[in-house]
Structure 1
Amino acid sequence: MKTSIFISLSALTLFLVATPTSANEISAINQTSTDSIVKITPFDLVYGAYRGYFTDSGIPGYANLIAAVNAGRVNAEDLVEEAIALGRLAPETINNRAYLNSVAGLLDSLDTN
């Protein structure tokens, strides 16, 4: 029980620490031209999706994202493709298995925290 609480608090701390970075990156993207692409980490990508940054693209946020991932309606490839379409990731990222595996692992861990 104590381990579960510790893991949950650790994950929450990571989410809270990453918020300014994620918001700054997204602000930087909105202020630059569509030709410049900012590469974001898998964590910032998943956390941004969780916070609802991709709702206009059809990827739900918060508890709805968790439900969509659990139901198989949203996966790592979907999230990376939307980020590419929005200019937040380079197109070749869709072929980066390490990046996709990291995104998939983080999406799966949303339900456990």
Structure 2
Amino acid sequence: MRLDISTLLTTLLLSAAILPTAAQAQTTEAVPTSLNPYAANQPSANQLKPFNLAYLAYQGFLKDQGIPSNSALIDAIAFGKITAQDIIQAAVKANRLPEQTLSDRGYRHNLGEQLQGFTAD
């Protein structure tokens, strides 16, 4: 079990270091909302993906909003003290997500899946 946790943490740290750099390197041309009938169901280009938000929370970027980091976050998730909705609210307060994400059930579900990955044995 210790090996699994250390492997997970190493993967988390590497992913968090690599993904922001890769995301900045990509350039995409946005389709105007008026021309994209699916735009209401898709996250905006500058919105954090649930994967990235989970790792930002883990790394302590939401501490000022009351979200613990590292093992304290994992424990809080495992004991039901912190939920995906709590992290989304904290991210909105920190201006890392748009306010409409608060009512996005799909985003909340996907973030919840990422958070459960932290507590998996």
Normalised to the residue count of structure 1, the TM-score between the two structures is: 0.72
d(CA) in 2 for partners of 1:61 and 1:15?
13
The aligned residue for residue 70 of structure 2 is 62
Larger RCO: 1 or 2 (CA < 8 Å, sep 6+)? 1
Q: How many residues get paired?
A: 99
Instruction: Report the identity percentage.
Output: 31
Larger displacement relative to structure 2 (9-18 or 65-74): 9-18
SS at match of 1:68: helix
d(CA) in 1 for partners of 2:72 and 2:98?
27
The aligned residue for residue 49 of structure 1 is 57
Higher Rg of the two aligned structures: 2
d(CA) in 2 for partners of 1:23 and 1:48?
14
SS at match of 1:53: coil
Normalised to the residue count of structure 2, the TM-score between the two structures is: 0.67
Extract unaligned runs of 5+ from structure 1: 26-37
> How far has the Cα of 1:84 moved from its partner?
0.7
Extract unaligned runs of 5+ from structure 2: 24-45
The aligned residue for residue 32 of structure 1 is none
**CA RMSD for the aligned pairs?**
3.0
